[in-house]
Amino acid sequence: MNEIFYEVFDTMPRLGPGSAEATKKAFKATGLGSKRIEILDIGCGTGAQTLVLAKMINGKIIATDNYQPFLDTLADQASTENLSDKIICKNMDMAKLEFEENQFDLIWAEGSIYHIGFANGLRKIKSFLKPNGYAAFSDLNWFKRNHPKELAAFFANECPDMVSVEENIKLIADNGYKLIDFFRLDESVFWEPYYTPLEKRLSTMRKKYADNEEALAMFAELQLEIDLYRKYSDYYGYAFYIMKNIS
C-alpha cells in the first residue's frame, strides 16, 4: 500500500499546502539573505520549498527525506534549474538526524514537522543549530476551540499531537527559542497547489485500482481530509513560525 500511496503524489505540484510566497516571506524574516549560510531542510519531499530557498541564498542546502524517489525528483529539478551546486540530497529519517553540532545557520521544516511533533522537532534540531541560528517550521494548528465531532475524530487519528497556535508559541519559548515572526497561511494555499490537483489525482487512482478495496479505502480517507477542510477551514490550518536559537 505504501507504493500506491506514493503513486498518488508522484505527479503532484506540491506534497502539502504551501506556496512560494509563504516560503519567501518566512525566509526573509530571518534576515539571512545576504550571508553565506548552510541550511538543513528536513522532510523536504520533492523540494518545492527547497528550490525556492536555493534561489534566495548564498550557500548550500542539505535536503533530507526518507523516500528516495522524492529526492530523485528534487535532484532532477535542481539540475534543470541550474541549482545543483546549492542542493545536496540525503536519504535520512527526520527522527534520526545525524549532523555535526552547531552546523547549520537555518533549519527548515515546511509542512513536515508533524511527522515527529512540533515540540520533539524543536528539541531534536537544537544541537545542530549554531548559537543564534534560526529555525522555520510550518505546522498544522487549531485556530478555534470546540471542534466539530467528525473533525476532532479525524485528527485524533491523523494528527494526534495537533495543538493551537498559542500552545506552539509557548513551546517555542519553553525550548530556548525566541519567536521572530509568525503568520497563518491563506486558505488558497490548500486549494490551488494541493487539494484541487489531489482531487483530480484521486479520481484517476480510483479508476486504476477499482478492484483494490484497501486502496479505495485509502483514497476515501484522503478525500475525507479534503471534504473536512472544505467544511471546516475556519477551525484549523497551517501557520509558519520563524524562531531564533537563544540558548
* Same-domain check for residues 64 and 166: yes
**Which residue range forms the structural domain that includes residue 56?**
15-189+234-245
Round to whole Å and give the CA distance between 61 and 197.
Answer: 28
Round to whole Å and give the CA distance between 121 and 143.
Answer: 21
Lowest-confidence pick of 5-14, 67-76, 80-89, 135-144: 5-14
User: In this model, does residue 223 exceed pLDDT 90?
Assistant: yes
* Same-domain check for residues 194 and 109: no
Q: What pLDDT is recorded for position 34? A: 86
CB atoms within 10 A of CB 29: 18
User: In this model, does residue 247 exceed pLDDT 90?
Assistant: no
On whether residue 94 sits in a domain, the answer given is yes
Q: Considering its fold, how many domains does the chain have in total?
A: 2
Contact between 74 and 89 (Cβ < 8 Å): yes
* Same-domain check for residues 136 and 54: yes
* Same-domain check for residues 194 and 172: no
On whether residue 2 sits in a domain, the answer given is no
pTM of the model: 0.95
Round to whole Å and give the CA distance between 102 and 61.
Answer: 15
Give the model confidence (pLDDT) of 127-147 as tens digits. Answer: 999 999 999 999 999 999 999
* Same-domain check for residues 182 and 215: no
